[in-house]
Structure 1
């Protein structure tokens, strides 16, 4: 009997499991959004922390976010592409990765889901403790809000936007989630060219810095938290690349040719 011939009762446990996982992932995204709003820190403290981060990066001789942003200013199309990537790739790419893993690499799905949950929860705690204004708000440095100037814009005026916490720049979950997606697909698919999945976090890093939404240190903090999550959950990592789930079927037996009559 093939999968298509199975009774509705046999398929129901799989459907219920999928619905439970969907509800769990939806709850994770909801906690992420609600937690960011709840973690809306004091504005003065957020700007003090932002200036400290900016000064520390200069002491560490990290490339200036201003230089990266200025390299885009002569290319309006690239600015719009960067803003679009920031606005519309973050959630869909993560969701698509989780759905694919759930369908074709269940053990890698559970591992990745747990890493994302631990990373997101830890990041929200940092948002509570260290409110941080993004570089696009440090107008004295020359940084611009490219989303607001060129679109599409993700955030509104900080004074009237009550749907998001704009003072939660560190760590960057945009970069952290992109890194998890890349690691998950590298581990689940393998192959000679698996390192190409790292293009997603690399592009995300350039986008979040060039658009003025994050500092380099935001991405570094996200990378460290991601690494810590993988270390803590290392026992949950699948031992090897999984084979795609096989369809349930009963192989047909070959008909045995009749024995030759005895003479």
Structure 2
């Protein structure tokens, strides 16, 4: 007797027919992270312009009445433990959370994985253009704001002095890929799961936003620009559709991904 469970029946495994080659995906994702790191390093050497743009961003935020970044940082500085946790979150969660998200989708929701990988690749590629056209010093480097570089003051810190830091471009604050990736992780998990608690994934980008602002690594506008970029990518790269017969079941068999931007990030 055939004991295999048909898709859509109780206990059925998620559809894996759309799962791409593991080796190819490993190379693609590794390449995405490498481009992210190397691309920002190429946009160095614009220190004066980066500080000029920082003052412009700071005054623009005040002109449009965005909340002061100082208010968030003041809340963190009520205790050493809280600010240390915020620094640790900034330093250690960004890459592992995104990688874990992609691995889970690859194993359990392969069609959603292809969609999410394409969105992240497009957003990351677009974000690498801004440091060339709009270099921006983070608020922790700007005098006159009243903000503290919490990582240097309380630890842990992932950055050294800008003049000797050859692993990152600290004048590429806009957009905040910390926030953009975190928001995509939440959106992707909400789209790929059916739990009534799935909206709690939005806590990840919310905490990330408070952390990047409170530690003075980013301005509010950095997150706003990242959100706009992600929104544009999601508008043209559509998630896979669930079939009508399985839309309400826990296994959620998926139809083929939308052909839009089928070649993106390949």
Q: Is the pair's TM-score, using the shorter chain for normalization, greater than 0.5? A: yes
- Rg larger in structure: 1
8 Å CA contact retained: 1:87, 1:153: yes
How big is the alpha-carbon RMSD for the aligned residues of Structure 1 and Structure 2?
A: 2.1
Aligned twin of 2:259: none
Aligned residues: 234
Aligned twin of 1:83: 87
Higher helix share: 1
More displaced 10-residue stretch of structure 1: 42-51 or 140-149: 140-149
SS in structure 1 of the partner of residue 144 of structure 2: helix
Q: 2:222 aligns with which of 194, 205, 218?
A: 218
Aligned twin of 1:180: 184
Per the normalisation by structure 1, the TM-score is 0.85
8 Å CA contact retained: 2:20, 2:110: no
Structure 1 unaligned blocks of 5 or more = 4-13, 246-263
Aligned twin of 1:17: 21
2-side partners of 1:42 and 1:115: how far apart?
29
Distance 1:128 1:190, change over 3 A: farther
1-side partners of 2:108 and 2:30: how far apart?
20
8 Å CA contact retained: 1:186, 1:194: yes
More displaced 10-residue stretch of structure 1: 109-118 or 189-198: 189-198
Per the normalisation by structure 2, the TM-score is 0.84
1-side partners of 2:231 and 2:217: how far apart?
22
Question: Are 1:163 and 2:167 counterparts?
Answer: yes
Aligned twin of 1:9: none
1-side partners of 2:229 and 2:197: how far apart?
26
2-side partners of 1:59 and 1:243: how far apart?
49
8 Å CA contact retained: 1:105, 1:243: no
Aligned twin of 1:39: 43
How far has the Cα of 1:191 moved from its partner? 2.5
Aligned twin of 1:105: 109
Aligned twin of 1:243: 251
8 Å CA contact retained: 1:41, 1:128: no
How far has the Cα of 1:78 moved from its partner? 0.5
1-side partners of 2:20 and 2:175: how far apart?
35
Structure 2 unaligned blocks of 5 or more = 5-17, 254-266
SS in structure 1 of the partner of residue 52 of structure 2: helix
